[in-house]
Structure 1
Amino acid sequence: MPTKPNPLETMQALIEEINKHNYHYYTLDEPTISDAEWDALYDKLVQLEAETGTVLPHSPTGRVGFQLLKGFEPHRHLSRLWSLDKAQNQEDLMAWHTRAQKLVSEYNTQNPEQPLPPLSFVIELKFDGLTLNLTYDKGELVQAATRGNGTVGEGILAQVKTIKSVPLRIPYTDGIVEVQGEGLMNLSVLEKYNETAAEPLKNARNAAAGALRNLNPKVTSERRLNAYFYNIGYTDGLRFQDHREMVEFLRDNQFKVSPYVKFVDSIEAVEEELQNLVAMRNTLDFLIDGMVVKICDMRTREVLGYTDKFPRWAVAYKFEAEEAVTTLLEVGWNVGRTGKVTPTARVEAVDIAGVTVQNCTLNNMDDIGRKNLTHALGSLIYIRRSNDVIPEILGKVTEEADGQEIVAPTVCPSCGHTLEYRGVHLFCPNRLDCRPQLVGRITHFASRDAMDIDTFSEKTAEQLYDELEVRDPSDLYYLLFDDLVKLDRFGKKKAENLLAALEKSKTPDLASFLFALGIPNTGKTTTKELADHYRSLDRLREATAEELITLPDIGGIVADSIVRFFQDEAMQRTIERLLSAGVAPVAEEAPAAVDESNPFFGKTVVLTGTLHSMGRDECAKRLEQLGAKVTGSVSKKTDIVIAGESAGSKLTKAQDLGIRIIDDEQELLRLLS
């Protein structure tokens, strides 16, 4: 009689198989099984864990904890994490090389029997994320920490476990190793996240840092972070001859290594690679702010040693300065359409990379405290401008509390209502009588991706609010010509144009109408999914949370937001008034069966540049009708890039990756038809 399999042995085999597939998918970008097959393996593991009441330490089901953490525990690194000296230009780089060469020559003169080899170098990307230090004991991931002050960081093991490219177990089991890398959010992931986020994230660096320092690991998991590894900081016995051996060790132990690691034999080759890297910077799917140059040979590193702050054998070459020092003049508080109250800093005007900066981002009081800005009004601060986003404040120049205090408001700066904290953010709960919330809601309702009311702007919304008591999007459809024409700077023509635009907007597609309503926690992607599934406003208004969570990409939080939104009496009044005014959302017909032989079926397509024969929105719609998936960024998973006139970095990246490019509009039209 056959022996019944041991459940723990079955679980162990499942874990090894799932982790193998995860490694190929998240680290190598080479999927080995379909999503459905992976789900079947994972579901079987979950079932066995429930039946046995046991979760093995390296189980993938433990990547997302469900318990809110109380705080971050200090963690002392086994080996110090060093900062890097900076080279701002080629002269600085050559000066670093000259110093290193001099020290090597002096050593070789004194030790002719065992000279150091000629200098050779490795060039790596300088990631713009959050430094991670991972500890593995006998192959098991036992701790993960932030850099902190280089000696002591914060333990963030639960958060780091949510990063799928971080191995929970490695083949090396002979002792303890500390592995250093960078946690980051890919730009394509940020873009997709913001499509459905109620509060879009401003940039990838803050998104990653905020997620990894969030006490709720589920929030970290939702950001879908990535990590690249580049250094072994500590081992209790392992030794490497050079950096190449270290990189191979990382790869052999299933760590995700930077896609750009270049070994060269001369400082002239380093300079040449620097120019190549500057040229390719904007084609990457993550932020970098320079490159790191290291001497390869480990014995040479030991001889050169360290200063009080930096290793003498490495230097960080920063890109053209996008950081500056200026004075923090004041902090104002702005109310958004969701009621979120955010601080905005005004600084003394300063030029960064050709742009004059006067306003900077501050996220919340938690961010202000973390950056040592609590007493910073009137003080010198560091600011950075990255990838054309609004500049952010990095911190104070000095550690002293030498400025005036930044105090969070207790009441709404607009309506005077008492504010409340939701997590780390301040909110004004006065949804029905707070001017910036209502103006923002009306402006969003009229925007291009929503009701697309031509000629409408935020200034128009403010004027209608102030002079005609427009308090709700539905009020727009009850405006009268005689009232509009009396408004300052309006006149007969402008009044006629606005009324005509309102009339034209009365038959929006259902997805745009839902987006215009501003349902919390939903964006364009989610509202389109809702419209495609229900194809009726009435059916959606009656949907339950249990129904909604069966749809792809809609979880419990979003489902509850949708149900609560349509149950809200104020929202019900708004919708009824819109419908009574003649607004009639049109649901698209269910798509006909797609001809799977067409060249776009099942392909991932990116549009870039200007198309003269049709708009990009129309082209994307036609592609989706043919069974294509249209995304916003180029990656290894992209099948086709359609490049119109003035296509930029996406086209360049597609060329570098060898992706099929369609840059002839006549060919495009032929393929679409």
Structure 2
Amino acid sequence: MADQQTLQKMRQLVDQLNEYNYHYYALDNPQVPDGEYDRLYDELTALEAATGTWLPDSPTRRVGTEPVSAFESHQHLAPLWSLDKVKTEEELINWETRLHRQLGDLANDSLEYMLEYKYDGLTINLTYENGLLVQAATRGNGETGEAILAQVKTIGAVPLSIPYQGTLEVQGEGVMRLSIFEAYNKTAQEPLKNPRNGAAGALRNLNPQVTASRRLDLFCYQVGYCSDREFESHEAMLAFLRENRFPVSPHLRKAAGIEAVAREIRQMEAGIPQLDVLVDGVVVKLNRYDLRQEAGFTMKFPRWAVAFKFEAMEVTTRLEDVVWQVGRTGKLTPAAELTPVEVGGVTVRRATLNNFDDIQRKGLQKDCLVWLRRSNDVIPEIMGVADEPDAACSPIEKPHHCPACGSEVVEKGAHLFCPNTLACKPQLVAGLAHYAGRDAMDIDGFSEKTAALLFDALDLRSIHQLYRLKLEALLPLEGFQQKKAENLMQAIEASKHRSLSRFLYALGIPNVGKRTAGDLADHYGSLERVMAATTEELVALPEIGAIVAESITTFFGEERVREAIDALLQSGVTPESAEESPPHEATAFTGKTVVVTGKLSTFTRQEIKETLAALGARVTDSVSVKTDILLYGEDAGSKLTKAQKLIESGKRSDLLLMDEAAFRRLLSE
């Protein structure tokens, strides 16, 4: 029984941990390093064990936190359990001792275990019925999560259909690969803080286009529910996942006995620098399912599995200074210069910060001691101050002038921008590199380093000047031998004939990525029509919202932009529209936006999309006021309900609801 003072301490710890849980799980915004959270959690666990008392809202008694209200709730068919954790080999041995005790005579001297990396991303629960993906959800509180089907569908690794025809739930971890993270941040208007936030933020973003832009990956590790299949072992379950085209971790290991498990864990930890994903430990599971059933569960954890957490790569060091860097859009981003410190075998001298608000929120000052966290090969992150600033510390001033060109900066929301788009070197160099990039005009051999060299040596200040370069001007430059110079000239010439979608993306229109550029090119067909489009016209397009539409019209409304485009056209750049296919004979679906929902008996999802496209329709995933037709099958669910509400409210009284039988009759006419 706990005394009043101990109860008060437990209440303080519970409130503190629940607050941290909310920020970590619900907001994807960790407030403290993992090591600090684990210390508080262990302190609470020790008090509970010593007193035999648990507060009803203790985080040791439940999984995660409640979902936020931005997405619809989804009830999992089977619970998604949390895992108990250990941090030393001694704790690992103690865990197995308890497991042996639980299994009794069923346990032999060398229990067989499966080991896999514990990926650091966002847990996803996939639901399949009749071989089709029908739902995807976050973990939430373990029983109820947030429905994120449209977002998860953008992950190429997720199978939309599988051979298995029963009802199935598969659990996995959505991750952003380190290489993708680094490439994304090189051109992103808003760089990501770290890959975990990149994955979690993408999956919980209401706009699936944002999710798609992050190019997430998935590793599946567990069948949570299977309507008519039982497995003898974890190995058999993984084989089933592979047979059904689910992505499974390539780094799986099997070991007999806890000593062998410990050896494997040491080897896996040593292999972390070679990984292209974030991991924070190794999950150890009993292989045999009959033994799992006998071991059972506590109120929170399965007794047959445990997470071996690696030591957090967190240290303290001194923040010596903050320097401001200018990006392609003119945004000023702060970078912290640190007293060099070893983290995970790497010497760290710099760390990124988001903006001036981030500096203030974390209470950072020059010469203060800060917590630094480094995960794998990711740019280190400052978590906050390690001690209260002393007299030796000094405030970090907000810049009023661009560090590159001296222009007076302007504030837009939480960010600072240099307005000197015509002469600020970092903006011009990054803009040239973006224009020449592989996804844009694809000028082979033209990098940001090349752009900086030409800026300094040849006074290259605008994109159209690329097309006036002469071979003899390149040859004297450092690194430009005859062959390299000739290749670059040929690549520049070839870039004059690129698709309209590539050209639009190359222009660097704010908030317009590759997909939106493609949508604009497909819809308008010519550069002139895109430039003349009004905000009202753009908003009417299915995949373009008010913010993107405003960005497009504002961009093309600027005189300097029109002059720059005209200079490119005068230089011979000819954006080419995709060849138009022969026009479809007009049908009831021509020009209509169609959403498909429910189970169809005579079409797969891919077949129905192709059929509708052949009829002239545009197929989208979500119901909105822009939807013209909802084609539904059995168990249509929330999309049908939403469409009915749009009709009843009068917002889209002309929205047509069509079942599969009616659709087949139309096809046969």
Give the TM-score of the pair, scaled to structure 2.
Answer: 0.49
So what's the TM-score if we normalise by structure 1? 0.49
